[in-house]
Amino acid sequence: MSIENRRSTRRDVLKQTAGLAGIAAVVGIAAAQPAKADGGTMSPASVGYVDKPNGTHQCSNCSLYIPGTPATANGLCKAVAGSISPTAWCQIWSPMS
């Protein structure tokens, strides 16, 4: 192997190292961003979501509900996509333990 081949290899290694450092920096920045909270993936229609309680059963006392701020504002659901009213109800309602 000639000296020029070694220099070329060193350059390639340095380029690759610099590239990996750049990728690591981007991944680190992305990981530091807060996760976007958008609720679950099921559609409201698929779970029979209605904007009124079913007796005493309502989203605000469901184990899947993530309250909004303030508590009277719409929140999120761990299973259902979109904005969820605290006074709504659906078929997958689950009591808080």
Terminal C-alpha separation, the chain: 71
Give how many domains the chain has, as a whole number.
2
pLDDT of residue 39: 76
50: domain CATH number? 4.10.490.10
Tell whether the model's pLDDT for residue 52 goes beyond 80: yes
Band of the pLDDT at 19, cuts 50, 70, 90?
A: low
Say if residue 71 is in the same domain as residue 85.
yes
Say if residue 45 is in the same domain as residue 26.
no
pLDDT of residue 69: 93
Tell whether the model's pLDDT for residue 8 goes beyond 90: no
pLDDT in tens, 64-74: 999 999 989 99
Query: Which residue range forms the structural domain that includes residue 25?
Result: 1-33
Q: Residue 23 carries which side chain, given as an amino acid letter?
A: I
Say if residue 40 is in the same domain as residue 26.
no
pLDDT of residue 23: 58
Say if residue 92 is in the same domain as residue 57.
yes
Distance CA 49, CA 16 (A): 52
pLDDT of residue 31: 47
